Structure 1
Amino acid sequence: MANIQSSRFISLIQRILQGEPRWQWAPILLARVSLGAFFAISGWNKLFSAKHGESLLKTMVEAGIPFPEFMSVFLASVECFGGMFLIVGFLSTFCSIALTIAMIVAIVTVEIHHAIPAGLGPLDWLDWFLYLPQVLYVIMFVWLIITGPGPVSVDHMIARRLGVEREDGA
């Protein structure tokens, strides 16, 4: 009886420390769909709501982005369609790279200058920087680029049809 309880306890500890391999696809799916929904909705609003589109254009003009009229429509389209593609897992790596670039540009041109107070010491500045939502989006996109879209995706179905397998067998 003690051996059974001991082996169950050890098994529980192993699962806690190593995770459950059967569910490794779930956080990838959750992150991909959540990011996709956020950007699809955000881009849609910027494309089809005059208020949101004008706000984006104003931000781009104030940030000194070249060709602000074109770039605001381009950015909104990348967000909208990149987000939609991420939801279903189509061209996931490409969309993640495009949206990562958009977030880095937003951080460098707008957020660092407007969201972080001037005159902070290095640790305080880093604290404010890490609170920027765009930083979290970049981290999540880099994770998706590295892990891939996961098995619940159009990309995975296409890869299987083409006979392409990842080196790690996933």
Structure 2
Amino acid sequence: MKLLHKIVHTSAPQATVLVRLLVGCVFLSEGIQKFLFPQALGVGRFVKIGIPAPQFFAPFVGVVEIVGGLLLIVGLLTRLAAIALTINISVAILTTKLPMLAKAGFWATAREARVDFCMLLGSIFLLIVGAGSLSVDRRLDSNTE
């Protein structure tokens, strides 16, 4: 119970739900689109950017984004979901935005990376503060006290 308490405990304000919804909905949408548009956003994109084993990693990343996004939206195991999504978006930035920086320069990359950096910072924020009081985590936490 002590580990669960550390994972779900939150003293963040109710407004944290807005960050959860923002980050969760974007990841959920991106994950679904990897399956709806596999050539442009799934396996085909992973092949184009040189991700190894794209037939495995594209669906894997899609599932991580869908499950992680849903967990954030409801506020369940928010910190664990935020860890997975922070890793996910960090890899996305390293494999797509850093090469772009060398080719297109700072301003073009900054424009293309704006959503990625918002998702990274939003995920890190949720990792630090937890789900907030309007969440399943808060209800779980009150049961472990």
Q: TM-score, normalised by structure 2?
A: 0.81
Greater Rg, structure 1 or structure 2?
A: 1
Q: Cα distance, 1:92 vs. partner?
A: 0.7
Please tell me whether the aligned partners of residues 129 and 135 of structure 1 are also in contact (alpha carbons under 8 angstroms).
no
Report whether the alignment pairs 1:106 with 2:102. Answer: no
TM-align CA RMSD: 2.0
Deviates more, 1:53-62 or 1:92-101: 53-62
Q: Residue 103 of structure 2: SS of its match in structure 1?
A: coil
Q: Cα distance, 1:152 vs. partner?
A: 0.7
CA distance in 2, matches of 1:68, 1:152: 37
Q: Cα distance, 1:63 vs. partner?
A: 2.1
Q: Residue 25 of structure 1: SS of its match in structure 2?
A: coil
**Aligned counterpart in structure 2 of residue 160 of structure 1, from 137, 142, 145:** 142
User: Runs of 5+ in structure 2 lacking a partner?
Assistant: 1-11
Report whether the alignment pairs 1:46 with 2:34. Answer: yes
User: Runs of 5+ in structure 1 lacking a partner?
Assistant: 1-22, 164-170
Query: How many residue pairs get matched?
Result: 131
Q: Percent identity?
A: 30
CA distance in 2, matches of 1:130, 1:24: 31
Q: TM-score, normalised by structure 1?
A: 0.70
Whose relative contact order is higher, 1 or 2, with alpha carbons under 8 Å and at least 6 apart? Answer: 2
The AA in structure 2 aligned to 1:95 is A
CA distance in 1, matches of 2:136, 2:104: 47
Report whether the alignment pairs 1:33 with 2:21. Answer: yes
Please tell me whether the aligned partners of residues 86 and 120 of structure 2 are also in contact (alpha carbons under 8 angstroms).
yes
CA distance in 2, matches of 1:119, 1:30: 33
Tell me the alpha carbon deviations over residues 37-58 of structure 1, each in whole angstroms, 9 at most, x when there is no partner. Answer: 12112212222x1xx2222212
